[in-house]
């Protein structure tokens, strides 16, 4: 053997990363299941099951191809690599650039050689070229540039459909009665059962753990959900846990699918004429826009970015985050239960309910970030740091987003069916029946009135605040709500 190729658990693609051009005659493939990764934190078991079982299946597929594969358990990745050196001698170790600052530094220190991380459509260096030219890092500008560069949904220099953005068409509330196609289930095999046993976990059949299953999930989305994806992408309903979301992010983030494969399949379907432009554009925006932008920003903003707390938010996490029974807020109860069941909810519950609550209550951004990393199936470090610190809780002082995504109960009421059976009323901001979101939204604006008065994109909200006649009463109620959330009784 001439090289060791080390495969992190989010580089599971035969044609990308360090495996591109790998040769069974000269390359020893190494996977390390580190205790740091499996037991180091309070990880959701469904998430661990998915990541470990996917890696073990992938290791097996390389063995079947004729590679010599070492899959070992060790306290840390570096301990595992040291064991490999002891066993096989001091072979050079190669890896694709890892996807977090921490892993990048520790592998670099261990003298691992990196090849470019090509699990994205925009490389880190290409993103930096774009970001260096910007006054503000607007996702929309980045996205349009990628549409042009990658020639996706373009008619020459113009966007197909005559517009870059169909967000207005894509904000339809959930239908009263939703009858969508059933979601794909994935059968469990011996490897899955072995991992489940080790974790003492009963997995759902929601997540595939093989390349074949991930491709089946892609096909299922294209055939059964893509056409209706766009208009309902922001809707939240208790009648169906996923609506028409693709459920592809776990596979994109662990490497079982590459974004180019997903975009190719989506464009092929669009060309048949059966996919409306608002669905096609909404999906492309997520894959070549948001996803690439967030990864680019993670590397561009640097390792210190995750420690930002520019709104001085220091409240501890409320019990409702780990226990959906510790609240009477129906939205939080439903979303918390969904997370416990499948380690997944779509982007709007994450942004407009969970992050919104952390934002308006002044919850510590790093505590909230850690929790988000632990509970979601697709929550890699590069995804969650910009999404939480920049977008979710505005802890970066607006470096990424020009204004905070704070909202009262009216938004949640319009976009979901959570509010009708709730103990609270989204229209009320004071009194025992007032929706906690509505009360805390105004309290949040008031606490940061001076900061937001300087932001022209917040002027309308601050103007609204100045017209509230019941602000003193609202401030008293806000304190009651915060105390009740701490006690798990609101
Ligand atoms: Fe959530 Fe408020 Fe609606 Fe209740 S009324 S479900 S707390 S938004």
Query: Are 25 and 65 contacting, i.e. CB atoms less than 8 angstroms apart?
Result: no
pLDDT at 459: 87
pLDDT at 181: 85
pLDDT tens per residue across span 38-64: 888 999 999 999 999 999 999 999 999
**Does residue 191 share a domain with residue 163?**
yes
Residue 119, ligand 1, Cβ within 6 A: no
Q: What is the CA radius of gyration of the chain?
A: 23
CA 435 to ligand 1: nearest atom: 2
**Does residue 297 share a domain with residue 313?**
no
Q: And the tokens for 433?
A: 């029946």
Domain ends where: 115, 147, 182? 115
Query: Are 416 and 241 contacting, i.e. CB atoms less than 8 angstroms apart?
Result: no
Q: What is the number of structural domains in the chain?
A: 3
Neighbours of 170 (CB within 10 A): 19
- Mapped onto helix, strand or coil, the DSSP state of residue 69 is strand
Residue whose tokens read 């007032």: 434
Q: And the tokens for 268?
A: 């092929």
Domain ends where: 235, 268, 301? 301
CA of 286 to the centre of ligand 1 (A): 27
pLDDT tens per residue across span 102-146: 999 999 999 999 999 999 999 999 999 999 999 889 999 999 999
Residue 419, ligand 1, Cβ within 6 A: yes
**Does residue 327 share a domain with residue 267?**
no
**Does residue 296 share a domain with residue 159?**
yes
pLDDT at 151: 97
For residue 189, the domain's CATH number is 1.25.40.80
**Does residue 83 share a domain with residue 173?**
no
Q: In this prediction, what percent of the chain has a pLDDT beyond 70?
A: 100
**Does residue 322 share a domain with residue 296?**
no
Strands (E), 48-145: 68-74, 93-96, 113-115
For residue 89, the domain's CATH number is 3.40.50.620
CA dist., res. 334 & res. 320, Å (int)? 11
Residue 424, ligand 1, Cβ within 6 A: yes
CA dist., res. 175 & res. 39, Å (int)? 41
For residue 396, the domain's CATH number is 1.10.579.10
Residue 253, ligand 1, Cβ within 6 A: no
Residue 248, ligand 1, Cβ within 6 A: no
pLDDT tens per residue across span 291-300: 999 999 999 9
**Does residue 286 share a domain with residue 426?**
no
**Does residue 255 share a domain with residue 144?**
yes
β-strand pairing of 3-6 with 27-34:
parallel
Query: Are 256 and 218 contacting, i.e. CB atoms less than 8 angstroms apart?
Result: no
pLDDT at 167: 85
Residue nearest to atom 1 of ligand 1 (CA): 331
Model confidence at 479, pLDDT cuts 50, 70, 90, reads very high
Q: Mind spelling out the 3-state secondary structure of 91-144?
A: CCEEEECCCCHHHHHHHHHCCCEEECCCCCCCCHHHHHHHHHCCCCCCHHHHHH
**Does residue 268 share a domain with residue 323?**
no
Model confidence at 152, pLDDT cuts 50, 70, 90, reads very high
**Does residue 128 share a domain with residue 27?**
no
Q: How far apart are the first and last CA of the chain?
A: 62
Query: Are 279 and 229 contacting, i.e. CB atoms less than 8 angstroms apart?
Result: yes
CA dist., res. 87 & res. 400, Å (int)? 47
Query: Are 446 and 471 contacting, i.e. CB atoms less than 8 angstroms apart?
Result: yes
Residue 411, ligand 1, Cβ within 6 A: no
**Does residue 254 share a domain with residue 191?**
yes
Question: Residue 320 is part of which domain span?
Answer: 307-487
**Does residue 383 share a domain with residue 274?**
no
CA 409 to ligand 1: nearest atom: 8
CA dist., res. 429 & res. 413, Å (int)? 14
pLDDT at 378: 98
């Amino acid at each position: 053997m001439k090289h060791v190729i080390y495969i992190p658990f989010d580089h599971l693609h035969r044609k990308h990363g360090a495996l591109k051009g790998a040769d069974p005659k000269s390359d020893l493939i190494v996977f390390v299941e580190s205790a740091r990764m499996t037991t180091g934190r309070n990880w959701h078991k469904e998430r661990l099951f998915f990541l470990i079982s996917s890696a073990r299946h992938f290791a097996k597929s390389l063995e079947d191809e004729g590679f010599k594969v070492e899959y070992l358990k060790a306290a840390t990745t570096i301990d595992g690599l040291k064991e490999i050196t002891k066993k096989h001698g001091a072979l050079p170790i190669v890896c694709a650039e890892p996807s977090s600052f921490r892993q990048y530094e520790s592998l670099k220190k261990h003298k691992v050689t990196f090849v470019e991380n090509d699990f994205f459509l925009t490389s880190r260096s290409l993103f930096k070229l774009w970001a260096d030219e910007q006054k503000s890092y607007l996702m929309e500008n980045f996205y349009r540039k990628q549409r042009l560069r990658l020639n996706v949904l373009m008619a020459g220099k113009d966007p197909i459909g005559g517009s870059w953005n169909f967000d207005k068409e894509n904000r339809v509330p959930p239908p009263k009665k939703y009858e969508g196609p059933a979601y794909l289930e994935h059968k469990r095999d011996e490897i899955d059962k072995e991992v489940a046993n080790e974790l003492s976990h009963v997995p759902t059949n929601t997540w595939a753990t093989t390349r074949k299953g991930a491709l089946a999930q892609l096909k299922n989305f294209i055939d059964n959900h893509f056409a209706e994806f766009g208009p309902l992408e922001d809707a939240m309903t208790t009648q169906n846990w996923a609506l028409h979301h693709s459920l592809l992010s776990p596979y994109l983030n662990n490497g079982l699918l590459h974004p180019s494969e997903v975009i190719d399949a989506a464009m092929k379907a669009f060309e048949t004429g059966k996919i409306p432009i608002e669905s096609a554009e909404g999906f492309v925006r997520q894959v070549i826009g948001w996803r690439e932008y967030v990864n680019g920003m993670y590397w561009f903003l640097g390792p210190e970015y995750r420690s930002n707390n520019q709104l001085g938010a220091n409240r501890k996490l409320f019990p409702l985050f780990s226990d959906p029974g510790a609240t009477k807020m129906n939205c939080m109860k439903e979303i918390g239960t969904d997370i416990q069941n499948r380690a997944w909810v779509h982007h709007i519950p994450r942004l407009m309910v969970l992050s919104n609550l952390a934002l308006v209550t002044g919850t510590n951004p790093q505590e909230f970030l850690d929790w988000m990393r632990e509970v979601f199936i697709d929550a890699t470090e590069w995804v969650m740091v910009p999404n939480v610190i920049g977008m979710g809780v505005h802890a970066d002082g607006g470096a990424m987003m020009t204004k905070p995504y704070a909202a009262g109960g009216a938004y949640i009421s319009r976009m979901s069916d959570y509010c009708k059976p709730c103990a609270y009323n989204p229209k009320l901001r004071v009194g025992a029946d007032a929706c906690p979101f509505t009360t805390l939204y105004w309290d949040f604006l008031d606490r940061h009135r001076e900061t937001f008065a300087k932001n022209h994109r917040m002027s309308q909200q601050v103007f609204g605040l100045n017209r509230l006649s019941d602000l003193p009463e609202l401030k008293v109620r806000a304190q009651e709500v915060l105390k009740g959330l701490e006690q798990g009784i609101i």
